[in-house]
Structure formats: structure tokens, C-alpha cells
Structure 1
């Protein structure tokens, strides 16, 4: 046990909520009724005509199917409780909503308090609902009533606001079904070399219907319409009610796909392919998650200590099959081959799972005494791809006959709950590593089905997923030849690389499921412990240490939340030097230093101690999972002042809080970003820009394993209900009174939230922690640094870093700083569940300063316990 373990807050004091006044929400300028009616009338007429044509054509293709269409209404501003209005309208079914932003024009624009036009984009919402023929008649009747200036019937008045604020009324179209997902671009690449009869796979995601019989009818329609194109489903449908996910993978002849692309290129929207016009289809996407092939291997042997007395697992890995006989993994991995995938692998193909297990168990320095004291539970969810090879072996993927969502859900349920008569296989698991991203699903505006699944599972089982942000495998164009780039000063080289990366941000969005809200998403630092290396024909583009990896992906997350939250070492990624006058650098795939040394599955018989060097956000996420295991062990030794352990059912949320709590912005990297990217135009939002590249910072594990005399950390765990307030009091060391010492306060609140996947906010529970009074008014006179104060409130982790070195207010021994944790309903009218949360607060001064922070915090907590008793 460390000399100065983490301290534990006494039980929170419950505070009665004050009567609050709702914050007024401004509305943008919208046209007057006559102008708005004239604007929308052609859109409504077109919507009606398209529905009539679609109804006639779909009846001919699918016998007995009730014609329906998807109504899309994009409004400026917001309309409260519109879902209830849709649900109360005959013939309409609510499908969802999300936030949108559009450029201002003369009809729609934001205004200030004086009614003056502001030069900003207009925030709004997009509503989607299913409409049948009865609903169409009802909708048109409401429209006619509104445009004549008459009062709408009782229960329909929300439609008045929607018509007044609507920018667009239209039908869900084939272009967004195919274009938004990148499917058309992918098809153009795939079909060019293929014969017309070659089968091209794709994934069809259906609008999620609340009635099971409607979902079954849509399945029948998809089968029929796919057969019309001489295609067929590649497997069964997936139907997951908890996350509103309904989909199937189908194979279509390349010739039919070629015809579709030709029709769209000719400007024909109503193409002769009812499958893509069918209004049950939300998106058509590329299929499958896959692990990119490794490069040339030059393995090195390494000795590993034998596993002895390893405890049951608290960490699980969902990945490819590992080589459990490798010296690094033997006796340390509890494999559960739930999907019978191990038999599909050949020697030398068990690579990604082996490397992830190696990093989780041993970290960056395998072979030493740093191995976890517990086994790791490993469920394979990937398998070799018969049709894709690289560098002599098959890559690992999810086949077109299966869904990763299904495998992950079944694996976690089997692990923690059991499956049928099968008992839970690893009920002690609290942390799950998922280092698999979907390169065909970069985050745009709404979370992917896999992200929604992780959010659901994290809440249901109170487990923490550590998820990789995803790798950017494309080239970086620096606009200089290699000779010219090499001639620059190191600082100029780094700034040029950062500016090149900033120009690629749209291509560097998070890969699903990294956008999930209940998880911790991990980005990669350009760092490792492999030491010196032989560069060969490879270039290190970044000289500065602890900067983000040139191969990592960035946020923002859902609703511009902070993603990734934390960064860990992901290995130094080198780039192949361009030849001659080339200016584009491509990632080197060589499995030699630099990088992180991991177990390697050799295809040579009997070779069970080979290692190679790898890089990427998968590695960083594995190290984050390993850090979670160490924090878990440290928390097992933490006791309250009266000797009680922390609540066992809060272990995962406590570790979630402490993982983020340990993160810090690297000053050198922050300075590099300012030098490369800051301008007079973006200065006011530069904290949010910085957060996009750095998250909450790089993990510093030691800070949350133990304290120092100049740094003390207190933790608390509890459950909170809607509108409750929990108050905690941080003792103030009297030595700080009226001084000008530099001080830092770090406050982190983490929780797991239930999700409402039909609501634009998703997150049902909105927690926050604030001091009693403003930060600048509390005795320590603190100011925020690093993150934007609004951005930290958008996910399920709030992380505040505050510093100052000016005059501290005078206070007396025994004074405290009060913090209040509050809970509000967000994506729900009422929050029925209690929400588990963890709070971590660290107070520190400079190392070596003669102020006994830790001692004073411990004494103050003891005094609070005595008074409460």
C-alpha cells in the first residue's frame, strides 16, 4: 500500500434543491406567415406528389404492403415536445430527431437581445417521422388550416410552431440513403473491375419501427425487393430493440449497382430499383469491421516470466483470437471462444488479439515484472477474411454473414449475466477493451449502432469500455519535398505537420464506436519506450515529445462533446519518405522499432516468444485498459476514515473518473497548437479547438495511484436521483490563506447514464459539479484552464482544471470549499433510475513547497467525520 493513498470524502450531505426559474430560450427570426406559406407551399406539394408516385410503384413491387413515406422537417430553433404532437397524430410514427446548423439567410437568422441580426449560423432541429396515407391526409389538413391563418385543433398546436419555423419539408431521399454513408463512393471503387455478375455486399439499415409486425413486414419487403435485383440477404436480420437497430446485409450483382450509379449520375432520383426507393430503408452502408494488415515482420525473441497465482479477471478483451500458448500470454489469458472462431485461424494469423492481450497484460516493457496480477478474459469476435490478404496472411474482420453488434452483445451478456442455462463466465469483469474501429463509419452527427450498443451495455452492466479513437491510415501532404522539409528547423517542421493535419480533420473523424457517450475514448500519443532506432527510408515527422500521433483520429464527439477524452502512448509512427519531388508521406507499416513491443504470433513451428513493434490507437486503448486495472487494484486498498472500503458496485465508474482525472495537457503540445493554428479569428474558441486535438490530456497514471505531501486526491462514489443535490466539502489548508502560492484544483465527475435513442440528446441523466459560488469568488480565487467550460458538460465526464498564482483570500483553519453534484433529466421527461457517479478532486501546490496539502486534507476529513458522528 502506498505511503499516501487516495483519501475518501465523507458521505455527501443532501441539499434541498432551490426553486429555479427556467432559462429563457431565444428563437431565431423567421418569416411572417404569408412569406412562410409561399416558401413552403411548393415543398408540401412536391412531398404529396412524390408520395402518390411512390405509393403506386411500391404496391406493384410488394403485394399487401401499406405505402408509407418518411417525412423530414428541418426547422430553425426548437419546438418543445413535438414528439408528443407526432405521436398524437393519426397515421404518423415518430422516428427520431437531431440537431442541425444551417447558414443564415434573409428569412432565417439569429438575433441579439436588441433584435439585431447576428452573423452566425442558425441552430435548428431535424425531425423524421413515418407517414401513411391517413397521416398524409391529416398533415395536409393541418397545413391548409395553418396557411389560411385559422386556429389548429386542440392537441395539434405544436404543428403551428413547426410550420412557422420550418426551413424544409421533404421526403427522405435516395441521395441521403446512399450519399451520406459514403456508399456511392465506395461502390464506384468496388465495381469498376468487376463483372456484372459479381456479388457486391452492403448493409441496409432500416428505420426502427416500434411495432414488431411493422418490422417483420419491412423484412419481407427487403427480401422481395432484393430478389427483384437478383440479389439476396447474406445472413439473417438483426433486430435489437434496446438500441433501435434493425438491419440486414445483402449481396447485389455488380451490374445492378452499376445501373443505379448510372441513373443517379444522369440526375434521375426515382431510379428503377425499388430497394433503394423503399421508405423503410434509412441507410445503405459498406459492410464490416476489419483490422488492417500488418507490414513486414522482423520478429525478435524475448523471455517472459511464468504466470504464477494470477487472480480472476477484472479486464476483458473483445478482439481477434490470441495465441494463448505464446510465452507472454500462457496462463494469463482466459479465452472464451463463444463463436467457435479459433478453428478458423492458421499459424501466424492470431496477431491483433495477441498484441492487444500482450499490451494489456505487460504494457510497453514486456518480459519484466510489470505483468498484471490477474488473468485477462478474452472473447474473440473477429475471424480471418478468406478474400483479403496482406503481407502473406489473411486480415481479421467481421464476415458479411454476421454483425459485430450481435457478437459484442452476446459476448458481454454471456460474460456478466449468462446465456440461457449458462452461468456468467466472468462476473468479476469491470473493464472491457475494444480496439476495433469501423473505417467505413466515421462519426458524422448521430452515433452508430455499435456506439449505441456500448452505451446500453455500459449502463445495463455498469462496466467501463475503453475504446480506440481509430487510426488515420491516409497520407499526409506537407507541400514540400523531403529535402526541403528536412531542412526546416524542428519547430517549423512540427508546426507544418500540425497545419497539414488540421486540413484533414474532416477525414480524421472518430471511427465507430468511439463516439459512444458512456465509454472512455482513447487517442494515441507519438511516444513509446523503444529508444533509438534505425530509420532506413522512414521519416519521423514530429520532433516534439508527447505530441499527438500523426496517425490518430480526433473529435469532436456527439453534440461536440470532448472526444477522445484521454491520450496514451501509441508508438512513434514513422512515414515512408516520398521519392524525388514527392510531397506526400504514407504511414510505414514495418513491424520494427520504433513502436511498442508486443507478442507476435509466428507462423514458424514452435516459436512462442517472438515480439514485434506496432503502433496505433488500438495500442493506446489497450494501455488505458491496463491502467484501469491498476487503478482498480489501488482502489481496493483505499479506505474511508472509519476503515470502510469504497462501494464495490461503483468500482467501474470510480475508475472512469480517475482515468480522466489523471489526464493533463502537455504544455509543449499546447504551445505548438497555439503557434501553428491560433489566429485573431479563432482566438475566442481556441480552448475548444485545443480540446479537439488534446482531449483532456495525456494520462499520468501515478497521479491517481498515490498522493504526495504537496498533492492530495479525494474520491467519492454514490447514487443520485433526479433533482437531488449532493454536497461535499474540501478542507482548505490554512497555510494557503492570504498567500500568492501557485495552486491547482482538478475536479472530475463521471457517471453512467441510461440512453433514450429516440431523443436528440440521447443521454437521459445530466450531472454536473460546481462550487457554491463562482470559481473566481471562492477563497482560492481560481480560473479555468485547458477545456472549454461548455464542452465539458456534454458527455458523461466533466473534467475541470483550475489554476492561479495571485492573492488567495484570507480564511481560517477549518474552512472548506463546498462542491455540489446535481442531477437533471436530459433526454427524458422524468429520470426513473438512480445514477451511479464518482467524484475526484485534487488540490496541489508546487512540489517541494512547504505546505502539507495531503496532511491537511486528511485532518480536515477526519474532523468532518467526527462532527457528523
Structure 2
């Protein structure tokens, strides 16, 4: 029914059903569909304006005292497969704009690979006011054709402010000098940093094709400076300075807003996120026009920004689809922030009573309050991207003791997520955020009155939090630091960790003379970045006590994953093995209906023992996308043992994420444990793992799908089983890359 006639027929059948009349012969199959349907209508104002929040935003913007005011917005169009049809739609939009004396702010943007067709426009306030009046009066027929043109999918806001940080002078800090000699592995797309800051001087490969740095004044480069500081150095601690050995490529994509009171950074009204990000990545890796590739060695791209006007609902945004396509095309990993929620939290009791509660009761109460806010705490676009790693933040930092002042910690547990974090699920209820990294302890202001119940976040630059390089307008501003918090920080630390993992992989390649193809390095980094994640028992207990009930008890693993994804990452577990822990890696390209078989050797001394053991298996891949299909993801990869987990010699069982949910994205991460007696096995005992590939949003997969695989086996520290040595001895190749045999 993909045409007008089909739509008319469907609506006719629906009207028959609504009247209670029998459906015509041959159409009775629709009964089951209609029985589950609340309403069917043509696409119209409800979808184009109300669901996007555009009408309410226009109510706030339209000033009846200034009839000559212009209202800017973005018009997203239904994507037509035919280029000629798309040009016809553009011609029609221009004509409809001319009818109401509107204008284009930008050329039409047409990105076929993500099915995105849109234009930025300026509308006369009088016409917008006329629309609002007509809707308020209940008129059935709108007089302005643009607002009911069938080619329009959505009207959306434009010119969003993306990040806001409080002002403050910062504190003095000393940084050692140094010039990294290794080409960049990580990149940052953000606001412009202070290139002369002592923490960053000579450590960034800065590229500014649009000359955005020139638009900043001293003290306005806070977010870009902070993100660069965290990627390069991590949290700043006086006794631990550990800069990355490689440069970090930095290209500004935001700029100050001269019309805003605080000149906060934003994307201007005439600029598409999608266009600026696509150009930046293409320039970085492929080159732009006559300009050669500026940083072709980059494997990880940090994106600590999101669109506050586009929380994730049901379908991935164009920005998210863009990251999916770029990740697939260039084989790069995007680390994307889940987003922050800076609204107040109603703790449900007067502040004086809340302050007197024991910590566990505070935590339980706040978790329930946050659970009631979930509809307002959805991920911010592009955090729903399938191929990207979405990063949430834990409520922890390295700041140590601090002056409390008129602030309080409403969630006093550093293993939990930050109380300002946003949460999943992702597309098709996949695991999002993927992982958590430290985002700083987030304090809240103590209300002025004891009977107040709403608390709001403190966004100042005092401890606690994560100490970062700070752009200050004061004299000596190139050696300042401040404390900040949030998922932006957590994402920058994830990017830094990914760069360190890349360094370890490079060393392994050289040490073992292994030839991991360059195009597989980023997807292997992706697998390893998730590999160090797991659900901590204390976190699960707190969430269960506060949120588990009869309605969600059977799917409570999904509830936990909504808040913490696969869990906080212990990066040190990824970067090094111990005597009681061994990690084996694999990577390759797999085609449709192939099976890649991996043989994981079991330590001989573990046979027949009764020790606790844990196996962690992580499979990550980059998928091509089909934006015309409701599933979007073209490639579905999975791993499973040749026999059931409970039947392998180690007798393992899943302990963290739901086994169905882990198969909905592009990372399958399984944590398995065993406590019963291990089966006896011979010296060559092993577990066979099968990696398979099936088409999802396509009939046939025409490409090899890049993937990375990591498998870790461990026992408790102090157990006298040399896991590392015996696993290593059982591997025919020291670093198994590609399938260790099997069907291809």
C-alpha cells in the first residue's frame, strides 16, 4: 500500500471497522491488525508540528508586539528514492515559501546514504501566529499550504545551543611540557579549545577550515578545552601526569552565539549538524576538495555533544544515522555522550527530612524519583546511533575531599550512575548507553527553605568533579584548571581509554608479529572498550531494592541495562592480564551465513576444581544501514558456544544483561560465571565459540562485516591456577586474529 490509492483503501477499511460493520470479503485479515490499533489517520499537523514540540516552541518565540519578527526552523522532508522527485519537492517548497514571504536560510541538504532531505528556512512571525490561532480555534482547514504540504515529514527547531558551562576563574596548576611524536589516533569534534593552554600546547593537531576559532573571545573556549584536556591527560592529578603519546586531532564544529547573553556555543540557524559533521570526518580521513586527508590515522572520534531538542523516541535521528554510515564507511569508532539532564529532582519530602535520612534511604528515594523522570531523561541525539558507543557517567571522580558548603550529595554511592545522566533504551530496545565511565560527583544545591522538596544540580567549577584544563579570561589564563562533571567528561575519558587500547594493540602486533588489518583496529578497540564492563553487585542490589516489582521482575535485567548499559568499565582489566586472568582476541570480516569458529583453550589445572570462575565474551561490529527499512541495521552478528553454556566444561551461566537484549545492537557482551564443580577434561580441553552473520534490514548482505572479539577467563585472585600461562600455552598463535578454523 505504498501509494495514494492504497492509503485511501486502508482508511476506508478503518472507517468500516470503526462503525462496527463487517469488513469486505478478502479483507478480513485486517481485523487482527485493527483490533490492536488505536487510530489511523493521514500524516499531518499532529506529526509534523505537535510531536516535535514545534508548536509549543513557536508559542514561546512569536512576539505579538513584533509582527516583523522572523522565525527560523528546519523542514525535514520525506525521502523520495527518485532524485527527480526530490528536486520536484524542493521546487514545491520554494514556491510555498514564496507564497508567505518566507526564505531559505540554507541550501537543501540531500544525503542519500542516510535518507535525509531537509532545508533551513525563515518564516514571517505573522504567518506562524496565524497558524497557531487557527489551531487554537479548532479550524479544520489551514489556509497556509506549507504547513499541510504532504512532502513535509517534520518541522523542527534550528540553531540549538549544545553545551553550557558555568563561568569561573579556575585555579592555577602546572603542566609539564612535551611534544607527542605519534600521529593522532583520536579526534575531537567539539567547540574550539585554547591552543595556548599549558596542558594542550603542541599536543593537538588543530584544523579549522571554517575559521571558527576567530569568533571566540578569551574565556569562551571552555568546553573544547575541557574535552581536549580529558582526552589528552585524563583527570588532572598533581602526582599523576600521563598524557597520550599521540597527538589528538581537533576540528571545531561549534561556535559562540553572538545573540545569546552568555554567548554559549551552538550550531547557527543556517547550519546542519549533519553537514558539518560529515564534512569534518570526510576532511579528516579522505580529504575535502583539493585538501588532502588531514588525519587519516584517526580511529576514534569523540563527540561529547548532543541535540537537546531531539531526545530519542522511536526512530534514529538523521544525526545518528549519519554516524552509523560514517562509522561503516571509514571504519572509525564514535564515542558519543548519552546527554545530561539538568532539571530539578523532587525528592518527595521536605529537604530537612531528606537530609536526615541514612544514605541507603536517600539512594532508594532518589532512584525512585529518577525512575519517574525517565520520559524526560531519554538519550539525546545522536546517542541512539547503532555503530557508536554511547557513554553514560558514573557518580565518581578523583577529586578526593571537598568543601560541602550549601551543597549536598543526593546519591551518595560512587558505584552508581550520575544523578544527571540520561538513560536508554536504544533503538529497538537495544542496550544504551553501552557503557559508563567516570563523570564526576554531581552535587545539588541545598534548598533555601527546609520544607522545599525540589533540588537542582550545582553547575559550579568547585570540587568535587573532574579537574580539567580551563579557559579563563583572567591574566595567566593559560595555566588554569577547574572541576566539571557530566556525560561529556565520561565520553572524553572513554575516547582516551580507546586510544590507550589502540596503543596496546599496536604493541601486541609488533611483539607477536601479527598482521591485524588496519581496517579492523577500530572495531577491535570497540570490543575491548566494552569488554571491561560489568554490573557490580552493589549497584544491582540498590536498583533492585528501589525499582523491582511484580510488573518488571521477569525483565529486570532490561531495567538495569536501561540505567547502566553493560556497566562501568574497568579499563585496567582491558589493558593488562594477570596470572589469574587471560584475554584472547580475534578479529575478521564475516559474510552472510558464514560461521567463524574460535577455539578457547581451557587451563589444564582448572579441570575438576570447584573454584569460582568468570568468562567474559564481547563481540562488536560495524554494520551498514538501510534507512528505508524499519530495522535499519543490515548485519546481525552473534556468538554462541558450540553447546549450551551450562554444558561446557566450566558450567557457566549468564549473570548480567538479558540474552535477548544483547542481540539488538552492534555489541554482544556476555558475562558468565560458574560456582559448581568443573567437569573433568583432558589436557586439550577447550570451548568452541561460533560467530555467525545474518542479514537484518536487507534481503542479502553484499559486504564482509568487520568485527572484533574478546574472550577473558579468570578465577579469583590468589587461586593457585596459572590461568594466563596455561591459556597462552594452549593457543597455537599467540594473538589469534581471524577465525581459528571453521566454515567460511
What TM-score do the two structures reach when normalised by structure 2? 0.94
The answer to whether the Cα contact below 8 Å between 2:97 and 2:146 also exists between their aligned partners in 1 is yes
2:688 maps to 1:813: no
Match of 2:456 among 552, 565, 586: 586
Look up the match of 1:320.
191
Matches within 5 A, 1:375-414: 375-390=247-262, 394-414=263-283
The answer to whether the Cα contact below 8 Å between 2:159 and 2:269 also exists between their aligned partners in 1 is yes
CA displacement at 1:164 relative to structure 2: 6.6
SS at match of 2:292: coil
Look up the match of 2:589.
719
2:40 maps to 1:165: no
Look up the match of 1:752.
622
2:287 maps to 1:418: yes
Query: Within 1, Cα distance between the matches of 2:712 and 2:157?
Result: 46
CA displacement at 1:316 relative to structure 2: 0.6
Query: Within 2, Cα distance between the matches of 1:860 and 1:256?
Result: 74
CA separation of 1:859 and 1:440: change in aligned 2, threshold 3 A: same
Match of 2:105 among 213, 234, 238: 234
CA displacement at 1:636 relative to structure 2: 0.8
The answer to whether the Cα contact below 8 Å between 2:175 and 2:199 also exists between their aligned partners in 1 is yes
2:137 maps to 1:266: yes
CA displacement at 1:162 relative to structure 2: 6.0
Matches within 5 A, 1:425-824: 425-580=294-449, 581-639=451-509, 643-824=513-694
> Greater CA deviation, 306-315 or 451-460?
306-315
2:128 maps to 1:257: yes
Matches within 5 A, 1:94-493: 131=4, 165-166=33-34, 167=37, 169-191=40-62, 195-365=66-236, 368-390=240-262, 394-493=263-362
- Could you say what the CA RMSD is over the residues aligned between the two structures, in angstroms? 2.4
CA displacement at 1:332 relative to structure 2: 0.4
Query: Within 1, Cα distance between the matches of 2:64 and 2:646?
Result: 65
Look up the match of 1:54.
none
1:456-482 CA deviation, whole Å, 9 max, x = no partner? Answer: 000000000000000001111101222
SS at match of 2:460: coil
Match of 2:698 among 828, 831, 855: 828
**Structure 1: gaps (5+ residues):** 1-84, 87-91, 93-130, 152-158
Query: Within 1, Cα distance between the matches of 2:502 and 2:491?
Result: 16
**Structure 2: gaps (5+ residues):** none
Query: Within 2, Cα distance between the matches of 1:739 and 1:137?
Result: 69
The answer to whether the Cα contact below 8 Å between 1:304 and 1:366 also exists between their aligned partners in 2 is no
The answer to whether the Cα contact below 8 Å between 2:592 and 2:693 also exists between their aligned partners in 1 is yes
Larger radius of gyration: 1
The answer to whether the Cα contact below 8 Å between 2:63 and 2:69 also exists between their aligned partners in 1 is no
The answer to whether the Cα contact below 8 Å between 1:731 and 1:857 also exists between their aligned partners in 2 is yes
The answer to whether the Cα contact below 8 Å between 1:478 and 1:584 also exists between their aligned partners in 2 is yes
1:150-177 CA deviation, whole Å, 9 max, x = no partner? Answer: 66xxxxxxx9856873545431011111
The answer to whether the Cα contact below 8 Å between 1:436 and 1:618 also exists between their aligned partners in 2 is yes
CA displacement at 1:237 relative to structure 2: 1.5
The answer to whether the Cα contact below 8 Å between 1:722 and 1:831 also exists between their aligned partners in 2 is yes
Query: Within 2, Cα distance between the matches of 1:138 and 1:369?
Result: 69
The answer to whether the Cα contact below 8 Å between 1:383 and 1:396 also exists between their aligned partners in 2 is yes
The answer to whether the Cα contact below 8 Å between 2:512 and 2:734 also exists between their aligned partners in 1 is no
Query: Within 2, Cα distance between the matches of 1:501 and 1:387?
Result: 34
Query: Within 2, Cα distance between the matches of 1:645 and 1:705?
Result: 20
The answer to whether the Cα contact below 8 Å between 1:196 and 1:256 also exists between their aligned partners in 2 is no
SS at match of 1:188: helix
CA displacement at 1:221 relative to structure 2: 1.9
CA displacement at 1:139 relative to structure 2: 7.8
CA separation of 1:599 and 1:669: change in aligned 2, threshold 3 A: same
What TM-score do the two structures reach when normalised by structure 1? 0.81
Look up the match of 1:89.
none
Query: Within 2, Cα distance between the matches of 1:164 and 1:695?
Result: 35
CA displacement at 1:346 relative to structure 2: 1.2
CA displacement at 1:780 relative to structure 2: 1.0
The answer to whether the Cα contact below 8 Å between 1:231 and 1:253 also exists between their aligned partners in 2 is yes
> Greater CA deviation, 249-258 or 342-351?
249-258
CA displacement at 1:258 relative to structure 2: 2.6
CA separation of 1:684 and 1:135: change in aligned 2, threshold 3 A: closer
> Greater CA deviation, 251-260 or 624-633?
251-260
SS at match of 2:724: helix
